[in-house]
Structures are given as C-alpha cells and as structure tokens.
Chain A
Amino acid sequence: SQQGEEDPQALSIQEGENATMNCSYKTSINNLQWYRQNSGRGLVHLILIRSNEREKHSGRLRVTLDTSKKSSSLLITASRAADTASYFCATGEIQGAQKLVFGQGTRLTINP
C-alpha cells in the first residue's frame, strides 16, 4: 500500500531554531496527519489537515499541504529539547477501507 516519504530522515538543530520536515505521498488523500513518537513510546497525534485545507497552525506547529504536489511540511518554531522525537506523516486514503498509511519518519534532535 502507498506510504508517505519524509525528508530528511534525520535532522539535528540547536535549541531555539526552527525545524522543518517534509512529507511526500502518491495517492489521493482525504487528510494528512502528523504524529510524534518519543523514544520507546507510542505515537501522539499532533495535527490533522484535510485535503481542502492549505495551512494549519497549532501552537508552535505549522503544517502546510499542497495537494497538487502531493506534499506537506511540518514546521516547529522555537524548538526545545523536549521536541526531540521522531515525527511521522500519515495519509488517510480515499480509496478503499479507511486506514492511515505512515511514512518512515524524521528523527529530530534538538541540541541544548
């Protein structure tokens, strides 16, 4: 089944800087979701953006969606050490039974 691809696979920045992660996908989608996973923990939902939306904000998070390019980006502003985690995009497909298809994630490290 189709999956998103995150870019970069790993990102290391200094605390206070902004972090941008990108996601590309191949099929038509109903929505795109971003999740965070701390080491050894479950995934936590961050934000959902529907196919008819172009941008969404939640606190220090900003997500964009470009359905013509089949891509999305997650921006974390003013990063903190606690933001260190893996970030996954997941697409809710239109075709067939409803399921979320995940990419392989971006490993984000925030250096103090």
Chain B
Amino acid sequence: DTAVSQTPKYLVTQMGNDKSIKCEQNLGHDTMYWYKQDSKKFLKIMFSYNNKELIINETVPNRFSPKSPDKAHLNLHINSLELGDSAVYFCASSWGLGPNTGELFFGEGSRLTVL
C-alpha cells in the first residue's frame, strides 16, 4: 500500500482553468503538507495542516486554496491557472506538529503543466 498517494500524477491544462490535486496518507500522521518544486528543483513549502487545522500558509497567491476534510486527506485547488504555476506539487505527511518530531513522508508528486 502506498503511504502517501496523490492524484493525478500528471495534469496538463490551459491558462485560466481551475484544477485540483488530491492527497491521502494512510500512515496515521497528524500533519500534512504541500510543497512546490520548480524547474530548478527548488522545493518550497506552501501549506501545512495539523489535524485539519491550517498551521502554515506561506506567501502563496489566493488562487491556491488547500482543504483538509480529515487528517488523512489534504487537497489543493488552484483557480485561474497561470503559466508560472507549472511545477511539480508534492504532498507530504509527518507525525506530531511537524518536522521537529521526525521525518516527512512524500508522495510521488503531481506534475502540473499550464499551457
């Protein structure tokens, strides 16, 4: 069983569209994250949730809206997609309140291409 699974793996869409990426973890972790990896492989945290509560909200455009229906799921909805949103989006999870407790477990990534 995949510990952290995210769908879809690939997403190609036009500018201006709205899209969602879903993430589920079956590890029983309390905290989930969204990271964005750009074309230079730089990974930047976007959001984190602990037990469905938003903990971290980095400087991310309002077009990005995370939703955590329960502590095993964290989805990312993106409105009015722009060319600069093209990247690989990674979901991750960890125990406790965050990485001071231990390691992060990452999904395989969702590659978003905006045309």
Contacts and interface: CB of A to CB of B under 8 A. Distances in A.
Interface residues of B, number: 29
Contacts of A100: 45, 98-99, 104
B109 A92 contact: no
A58 interface: no
B42 A104 contact: yes
Contact of B104 (A1, A41, A45, A97): A45
B55 A97 contact: yes
Interface string A22-59: 00000000110101010011111100100000000000
A79 interface: no
Interface of B: 4, 31, 33, 35, 40-45, 48, 55-56, 58, 90, 92, 97-109
Interface of A: 1, 30-31, 33, 35, 37, 40-45, 48, 86, 88, 90, 92, 97-102, 104-105
